[in-house]
Amino acid sequence: KDIEFIRSYYYNKLEYTRFSSSVGKFVGFTERGVKNAEYWNNNPSILSNMKAQKEAVCLNHVQSKYDNVL
């Protein structure tokens, strides 16, 4: 529950689009980023792929990373 998957997209050190698993969709921060987010949010395959990344990346590795810290 308390793990969040975030994928940010940058150009020239400026974040223009971000996907957050807690929000469940892409959010745009620039004019181009808003257009990208709108397109990606309307594409079910891209959106479902990003939602699945939390389980594939975060939840499968959290225990091993936690054990390494201890």
How many whole angstroms from its chain centre is CA 31? 19
Domain boundaries, position 27: 6-68
Least trusted range by pLDDT, from 11-15, 34-38, 44-48, 66-70:
66-70
Q: Is residue 31 domain-resident?
A: yes
What pLDDT, on the 0 to 100 scale, is given for residue 4?
87
Q: How confident is the model at residue 11 (pLDDT cuts 50, 70, 90)?
A: very high
Q: Is residue 30 domain-resident?
A: yes
Helix (H, G, I), strand (E, B) or coil at 21: coil
Q: How many domains does the chain have?
A: 1
Predicted confidence (pLDDT) per residue in 42-59, tens digit: 999 999 999 888 878 777
Q: Is residue 10 domain-resident?
A: yes
CATH number at residue 10: 3.10.320.10
Instruction: Note if the pTM is more than 0.85.
Output: no
Q: Is residue 22 domain-resident?
A: yes
Q: Is residue 27 domain-resident?
A: yes
Q: Is residue 37 domain-resident?
A: yes
Q: Is residue 1 domain-resident?
A: no
Q: Tell me the C-alpha distance between 58 and 36, whole Å.
A: 24
What pLDDT, on the 0 to 100 scale, is given for residue 56?
81
- Read off the pLDDT of each residue in 7-23 and give the average, rounded to a whole number: 95
